[in-house]
Every structure is written in C-alpha cells, then in structure tokens.
Amino acid sequence: MKSIALLGYGTVGSGVYEIIEKNLEDIKNKYNIDLKLNLILVSNLKKYSSHNEFNLFTNSIDVIKNASPDIVIEVMGGLHPAYEYVKYFLEHSKHVITANKDLIAEYGEELMNIAKHNNVSLMFEASVGGGIPILKPLKECLGGNNIESIAAIINGTTNFILSKMYDENMGYFEALKLAQDAGFAESDPTSDVEGLDASRKISILSSLAYSKKIDWKKIKTIGITDINLNDITNAKSKKHKIKLLAISKQNDGDVYLSVRPVFVHRSSSIGKIDNEFNGVVIDGDSVGNLMFYGKGAGKYPTASSIFGDLIAIMQNQVDNSNIKLSSDFNFIKNFPLKSKWVLRIDTNFPDETTSQILDEFSNLPITIDKSGDNKSLYITVSEFTEDELLEKIENLKNISVKVTKYFLIYE
C-alpha cells in the first residue's frame, strides 16, 4: 500500500483528488499497487466540513508529518511554507510531486539535490505547461540534442485574456475575472499578468534544456497590463495577434531570455494558440523543430500531469538525476537579432508627430498607421536589434516624441 498526502485542495488539489479516486481500481489492476490518499492539508478547515471525506482533512502539517506518507503532493502554491514542507519530506525520504513553479524556479536545484541525496523523486511536470508533458520529453527524449531555442506561450491566464480581447473586444479586467473564475489564474494574478509566472516557467525549461543555472529574476519580463484595444486592433490590421511569448536562445556562451508581448502572424503555429492553451516550440540540433501543445492551466489538465508523475513514481522511475547547472554564460537581456518592431506613440497631434517620425527615420523603410480614435500612431520598422531600437527611441524622446510601447514582431 502506498499512502499519499495532498498539501492543498484548491483548483489543482481537488482535481488530483478526483483523478486519484477515479483511477484507483485501474492503478491496482495495471501496477498491482494499492494507493490510498490518506490526508489533505488545507488552511481553512471549515470550508470543507461538508466534504464526504472530511475525515481526511487537516490544517496541521504535524498531523501529516506524523503520518509519514510515502508520497507527498504539494499543490498549495507560494514559496513559504511550501519550501519548508517539501524540504522536510524529501529529507525524510518521501517522494514529492509539486505543481509549484515559484518553488522550483527559486529552490529547484537545491531541492533536487536533497531528493537525490535521499534517493527519492522530486517531480514537477505540472509546473510548466499545465497538462502538457514537456519536462520529461525535454529531459529524456531530447537528450540527444543541443537545444538551440525555445519559444513558448506558457501562461494560460494571459493567453486567455489576450484571446478574449482579440476575439470578442472584451476589456482587460472582464477577461481577467473570467480567467480567475475558471481557476486559471494564480491566487495573486499579478504573477500572471506581469509575466512573472511565465519567467519562472521559461527559467525552468531553459535550465533543463541548457543545463545552465538561469535566475528567473534576471529575465527581461514585460507583462500585458498596458496592452489596450488599439494595440489589438493594430495587430488585427496586420493579420497578427498579440501573444505573451517566453523566448530563450542559446548560442556559444550566450543565453538570451525574455518574456514579452509580441506580434505573431495569426496563421503561424504560435498565433493559433488561443485561450488557456499553451504551446512550447523547441529547436534541437538533431530533431529540428518540435511543438508541444495543450491546456496550460485548469483543474484537470494540471491534475493530469501530477497523476503522470505519480505513475512514474509507482513504477519506480525514481527521478534523481544529477543536476549540474553551469553559471558560466553571458545573460543577454535585449533581443539580439535584427527584427521587425511595432512602436506605439501616443499623441494629440498625429500629423505633426508623423512628420517628426519621418524625419527621424529618413531613408529607412517604415510604415505609420493611425489608431481609429486618432490618439495613437503605430510605426513598423525593420532590421533593428533591440539595442539599436532603444537608441532610436531615445532619439525620438529628445524631439519630444514619446514611444509608450514597443512590440517585437516574432517571425
């Protein structure tokens, strides 16, 4: 008999509970293992008093420690006390499964080493891409590749919001509320909308892909809070969509990473990823381009990934690979490739500003569109690295033309 303790019974925890209950018989038949969910940790016990297995619930971690379960599933979220709890159980030779990217991005290396030392698994497939199996393929199936780049939509909440704004002209706050009601958003959705959640996830993916110690806090991270319906309309007029994209590239000793809203063509593979769906495009030197696609947030997709980790543990696939992450690389923050960009300029004098812009970009091919309400100009420029573009933006500022936002056109 394998006993399980579930830390957290919110969106994901309740999904894990249901999937375990539904599959108990199947697991017994397939793996000849009796599985028992013994205890569930929550903070507000009263909320669950009408649950038909209320006897499993506790608000005391000591009750769970004393029960000494074989496997602990951490779906509470946040850094503390999740870190202390996960560390405790690994140190006491318990397998741990977590969906907590905050925890893995911050303490993943340390916790993996503790797991290795104690010959147990720390598994975290659900921490990136929700229901998409991405970490196992990256670590195992793609082992014969030098991974050159990753481009990923890895936050369901922001992709959902941007899709609603694009498809239904819905306002930002209305769309955010829908994403929260559906259980996609973090308990504090700031991490979603400011891009921090995606930064943590791309740091996890890139650390595993490149065997490099990527500090998520160093990643240039731009969220979606200042994207307005004029921006969306401008993207539409160019047959593009706006997506929050996590981009990671390695080349020689350089690693470039960012999370930023970009314009992508609506018929490109990334442009077709909508709502809470996620997609991860990986470029490996042997395999070429691969795309992983599926629901990136929500109760059952996330629980599905956790259940996959549970099965791996039950099959004794103890994942305690030696994690050696190198810090020997240059961290590049600005997009290094010559690219196309869209610059938004908010102005009360569009005609005058247009001629100032044309002067500044003389001889260079640019296009200028006016927003429907005449308050913004959108300039499209090409063949600029981000460093070169920032220089141009500074020049415009010197002639009192203020670029309020700029987007990479990701091709």
Residues that bind ligand NDP (CB under 6 A): 8-13, 41-44, 47, 75-77, 81, 99-101, 126, 130, 183-184, 186-187, 297-298, 302
CA angle 7–8–13, rounded 5-degree value: 110
DSSP 387-400: HHHHHHHHHHHHTT
Single residue of 196, 281, 297, 357 touching ligand LTNE7NMQ by CB under 6 A? 297
Cα–Cα distance measured from residue 306 to residue 321, given in angstroms and rounded to the nearest whole number: 19
CB of 186 to ligand LTNE7NMQ, least distance (A): 5
List the one residue from 13, 108, 156, 294 that touches ligand LTNE7NMQ (CB under 6 A): 156
Options 87, 164, 201, 220, the catalytic residue: 201
Instruction: Consult the annotation and say whether 12 binds a ligand.
Output: yes
Residue 353, annotated ligand binder? no
Q: How many CB atoms lie within 10 A of CB 264?
A: 24
Q: Using CA atoms, how far apart are residues 26 and 314, in angstroms rounded to an integer?
A: 13
The stretch near ligand LTNE7NMQ (CB under 6 A) out of 58-66, 132-140, 182-190, 244-252 is 182-190
Return all residues near 378 (Cβ < 8 A) that are at least 6 apart: 234, 342, 343, 344, 345, 368, 369, 370, 371
CA distance 401 to 110: 48
Nearer to ligand NDP, 5 or 312 (CB): 5
Asked if residue 144 belongs to a known ligand binding site, the reply is no
Number of alpha carbons in the 13 Å side-chain half-sphere of residue 387: 5
CB atoms near residue 196 (< 10 Å): 23
Q: Is 280 in the site for ligand LTNE7NMQ (CB under 6 A)?
A: no
131 is in an annotated binding site: no
Cα angle at 29 between 24 and 32, to 5 degrees?
A: 95
CA distance 331 to 155: 23
Query: Binding ligand LTNE7NMQ by CB under 6 A: which of 102, 106, 125, 197?
Result: 197
Determine which residue in the list 13, 195, 284, 296 makes contact with ligand LTNE7NMQ, applying CB under 6 A.
Answer: 296
Task: Scan residues 122-141 and list those touching ligand LTNE7NMQ (CB under 6 A).
Answer: 130
Q: Does 155 bind ligand LTNE7NMQ (CB under 6 A)?
A: yes
* Widest distance between CA atoms in the chain: 76
Please indicate if the annotation marks 279 as binding a ligand: no
Active site residue 201: yes
| Shortest Cβ 250–ligand LTNE7NMQ spacing (Å) | 24
Helices (H), 272-325: 299-314
Q: What residue is closest to ligand NDP based on CB? A: 10
User: Looking at residue 326, what DSSP letter applies?
Assistant: B
CA distances to 342, 360, 401 from 363, rounded to whole Å, are 18, 9, 19
Rank residues 15 and 284 by Cβ distance to ligand LTNE7NMQ and give the closer one.
15
Measured from the CB atom, the residue of 186 and 274 that comes closer to ligand LTNE7NMQ is 186
Q: Report what 217 binds from ligand LTNE7NMQ, ligand NDP, none; CB cut-off 5-8 Å by kind.
A: none
User: What residues does 135 pair with on adjacent strands?
Assistant: none
Of 64 and 227, CB closest to ligand LTNE7NMQ? 227
Which residues are identified as catalytic? 201
